Amino acid sequence: MATELIVGLDLDSKTEALAAVAACGSCRCFKIGSQLFTRCGPEIVREVLGLGKDVFLDLKFHDIPNTVAHAARAATDLGVALFTVHASGGRKMIEAARTAVESTPTRILAVTILTSFDDTAIREELGLHETAAEAVPRLARLAVSSGAHGVVCSAQEIAMVRAAVGPEALIVTPGIRPAWAGRDDQTRVMTPREAAQAGANGIVVVRPILKHPHPAEAIRLILEELNA
């Protein structure tokens, strides 16, 4: 299966976001996260969808099942292709989200442990008696067995998550850097090709595209690499 390129619209205004979508004409799917959504609201989602694009709404829902079910329903009503929940919201929360999107094309991705947590923070702040390498596959399995269609994870976690969730679940990964791009603040990166070979269904890329002098050229190079 081809690995899809998702461009993250980590921007502060509708003008910048729509200009980025226009500059990324050959890309089909755009991620809207809490930064742009909090600035512009659901209207920016409608605008991007109105351009014939798919939207991945990355708001990482984490609340009681009833609230997440209503948020999931709102996401499907907007018409997004994908949205995120935290796997740590638990089985009932994810089941409620799944029920809310049943018989719609919208799919749920679960976030396991944020990559900003290291093993010390997982133990001392989250109070888990697990390392990330233990918690990530456990939460991925919980999420998918509760009805999530897939998981968001770092590129380094693709193999362990794939082993945990099986071949059908979607795996979407950020932290991708083509060989020609700078690393910015990302430390453990993979190239688009490496992530595709590791089994990612989608890769999220932001700065290597949006900060490139010619975003369309950056996209062409990444798609060429994904399809090689």
- The least CB distance from residue 113 to ligand C5P, in Å, is 9
106 or 112: CB nearest ligand C5P: 112
Q: Counting contacts by CB under 6 A, is residue 222 touching ligand C5P?
A: no
From 12, 43, 102, 184, residue interacting with ligand C5P (rule: CB under 6 A): 184
Neighbouring-strand partners of residue 6: 29, 204
Residues numbered 89-128 forming contacts with ligand C5P, rule: CB under 6 A? 114-115
Q: Which two tokens stand for residue 152?
A: 């968001």
* DSSP assignment string, 76-136: HHHT-SEEEEEGGG-HHHHHHHHHHHTTSS-EEEEE-S-TT--HHHHHHTS--SS-HHHHH
Q: What are phi and psi of 40, to 5 degrees?
A: -115, -15
- The least CB distance from residue 3 to ligand C5P, in Å, is 15
- The least CB distance from residue 50 to ligand C5P, in Å, is 22
Residues binding ligand C5P: number (CB under 6 A) = 14
From 206, 219, 221, 222, residue interacting with ligand C5P (rule: CB under 6 A): 206
Contact between 108 and 89 (Cβ < 8 Å): no
Catalytic residue list contains 53:
no
Which amino acid, 89?
G
From 138, 207, 216, 223, residue interacting with ligand C5P (rule: CB under 6 A): 207
7 or 128: CB nearest ligand C5P: 7
- At residue 224, the 3 state secondary structure works out as helix
Residues numbered 24-43 forming contacts with ligand C5P, rule: CB under 6 A? 33
Residue 22, CA distances (Å) to 9, 53, 200 in order? 12, 11, 26
From 186, 195, 215, 219, residue interacting with ligand C5P (rule: CB under 6 A): 186
From 5, 8, 56, 101, residue interacting with ligand C5P (rule: CB under 6 A): 8
Which residue, among 65, 171, 163, 72, has the nearest Cα to 112 in the 3D structure?
171
CB atoms under 10 Å from CB of 71, counted, come to: 18
- The least CB distance from residue 223 to ligand C5P, in Å, is 16
Catalytic annotation, pick one of 14, 53, 60, 92: 60
* CA–CA separation, 9 and 31 (whole Å): 6
First to last CA, the chain: 13
From 84, 154, 191, 201, residue interacting with ligand C5P (rule: CB under 6 A): 154
- The least CB distance from residue 179 to ligand C5P, in Å, is 14
Please report, as ranges, the residues that interact with ligand C5P according to CB under 6 A: 8, 10, 33, 114-115, 154, 174-175, 184, 186, 204-207
